[in-house]
Amino acid sequence: VISLERVKTGIPGFDELIEGGIPKGFNILLVGQPGTGKTSFGLQYLVNGAMNGENGIYVSLDSPNELVKAQARQFGWDVDALEKEGKITFLKIPLDKPKINLFDMLEEEIKAAHAERLVFDSLADFAINIDQFATPLAYTGLTPLWDVKEQATLEADKEYRYETMATLDQDPKGRIFYKGHSEKRVAYLVVQELAKLGTTNMILTDAKDEEHANTVDGVSEYVCDGVVVVYNQLIGAKRVRTMTVLKMRSSDHSKYIHDFEITKEGIKVKPAEEVYK
Ligand SMILES: Nc1ncnc2c1ncn2[C@@H]1O[C@H](COP(=O)(O)OP(=O)(O)OP(=O)(O)O)[C@@H](O)[C@H]1O
Ligand SMILES: [Mg+2]
């Protein structure tokens, strides 16, 4: 058995649930309803990495960098120093500018920062703002992307798309973009593109409902390598934070629901034994 290299999240109680850490290069989806701790989880993953020699990038689509950093400071993490030392890069995607070439931007930032970890906050925000992005199709030239004639030339293909789709574009690297993807297709493509970056990614997204692990797009949970679900369950008159590892490819992961806390020091996951004692 070839052992996988694992990236420790450093989140107390969490790495034990997944055989010591996230397999390097994996896309981990962190799904949860509002306020379930997704951003905190992502920040802690980057801060722990940064303090142990692995640089990271926090990609925020919604919150300004200042807000994200303020949240981290509340946990006592000196993100200002880490940022100054180049160990964490906070990247706010400017959603007011059209045709954002997100993946080229990420590629450049990762290279410049020598980043090994990336947090994407969030996939749901990406889908909501889809019109601002040039959406990558990783177009290779001849692969029919939907029901186009086989062996269609790029030009013929392009015309066909112009006829059928409202907008179509090409980025400097020749990747074809168009608007009008279904939400499923958007999520699928973003996950594919994030996987190509070479970093170990934590992709945050919104849960569709309280009980289930389904994402709003309904597809990212299938295409990501691992899925962690965070809940804020109403039990009696109180909400209790719980999480579960729904899947982790190549890993013998915990199958339990674990209680966790968000304290002044960040997230702490409790072993299942404590819950089921
Ligand atoms: N410093 C802190 N100490 C204790 N609890 C905190 C602290 N900071 C945040 N929390 C708790 O964490 C919750 C929000 O966490 P977080 O922002 O990580 O969730 P989220 O899932 O990213 O939310 P959203 O859906 O808004 O993006 C807060 O509602 C609060 O209950
Ligand atoms: Mg958040």
pLDDT at 41: 98
- Among 202, 262, 267, which residue has the most ligand 1 atoms within 8 Å of its CB, making it the best to mutate? 262
CA of 33 to the centre of ligand 2 (A): 9
- Nearest-atom number in ligand 1 for the CA of 34 is 25
How confident is the model over 7-62, as pLDDT tens digits? 999 999 999 999 999 999 999 999 999 999 999 999 999 999 999 999 999 999 99
Enter the tokens of residue 53: 């020699």
Q: Are 87 and 57 in contact (CB under 8 A)?
A: no
105 CA → ligand 1 middle, Å = 28
Cα–Cα distance between 107 and 95 in angstroms, integer? 18
Strand order in the sheet with 88-92: 88-92, 55-60, 115-121, 200-206, 27-32, 226-235, 238-248, 257-263, 266-269
- The C-alpha atoms of residue 166 and residue 177 are separated, in whole angstroms, by 11
What are 91-104's pLDDT values in tens digits? 999 988 766 778 88
> What are the residues whose beta carbon lies below 5 Å from ligand 2 (ion)?
38-39
Summarised one tens digit per residue, pLDDT across range 199-235 is 999 999 999 988 777 888 888 999 999 999 999 999 9
Alpha-helical runs (H) found in 57-148: 65-74, 79-84, 102-113, 123-128
Residue 248 exposed, middle or buried by CB count within 10 Å (0-12, 13-18, 19+): buried
Span from the CA of 110 to the centroid of ligand 2 (angstroms) = 22
Contact 36, 206 (CB under 8 A): no
